[in-house]
Amino acid sequence: MTHRILILGGTTEARQLAGTLAARDDCLVTLSLAGRTESPVAQGVPVRSGGFGGADGLAAYLGETGTDLLIDATHPYAARISANAAQAARMAGVPILALRRPGWEPVEGDRWTLVDTVDHAVQALGAAPRRVFLALGRQEVGAFDAAPQHHYLIRSVDPVEPRLAVPDATYLLARGPFREDDERALLEKHRIEFVVSKNSGGAATYGKIAAARALGVDVVMVQRPDLPDVPSAETVEVLAALVDQFGIDHFVGPAAERGV
């Protein structure tokens, strides 16, 4: 029997998970992207792109496509789609699993200020002019218009449009992973005093955090949003094993039904 699996993606792990599951004979995998990135990296499995139209739209999609399992492998800061996914799964009666990569923990030498929102990150920079590296998405950097006294180095995958309404900003286009050595050179070259970051977790973007620690640079860390409570795993391997377990319990039938 073939199982139809929809993976909500937009992360490296989602792509890896899709590849792992698609390699199995009994899984038909579709990867869903929000469609924001202008030239997303090749995903290696069938992809659909763009929003569903809220939880209702996603629930309808799950029904129409006969999806057997929904996997939320979106970025930890993509809170709306994760909430929609949990709600849509309930509405459509489709089981859901989530891939939730653990956040980074501060270690000896880190100089982190924890804030709840990007607006609070703006305030945490203080009144005096500083040299600030914004390692945030292009949708979030607009909040820094409120503090035009700072110099900003802004790195994003796609161009920031419109540009910030501040007099002193440098824009960099780049896609991770980023190595610690390169991040250190970047912070030094631009004489950065503050890094503003999300707690994304994972290795691909940790380089700037390690580099900031090595250089004694302050980090303003925007904390993670609340996410719905659904069965989850921290790594691709563990989630793939959960899908196996799930397959035995749900696709073949619960243990009791199988007489074991």
Residues in touch with ligand NAP (CB under 6 A): 8-11, 32-34, 36, 51-54, 57-58, 74-75, 77-81, 84, 137, 198
Q: Smaller CB distance to ligand NAP: residue 140 or 218? A: 140
Q: Smaller CB distance to ligand NAP: residue 44 or 129? A: 44
C-beta of 37: minimal distance to ligand NAP in Å?
A: 7
Sheet holding 131-135, edge to edge: 112-115, 218-222, 194-198, 131-135, 151-156, 169-173
Tokens of 40: 């997303």
Tokens of 210: 């390690």
Rounded CA-CA distance 129/1 in Å is 62
Q: Smaller CB distance to ligand NAP: residue 58 or 153? A: 58
C-beta of 23: minimal distance to ligand NAP in Å?
A: 21
Distances (CA, A) of 33 to 18, 74, 145, 241, 255: 12, 9, 29, 23, 35
Give the relative orientation of helices 207-215 and 180-189 as an angle to the nearest 10 degrees: 50
Q: Smaller CB distance to ligand NAP: residue 121 or 193? A: 121
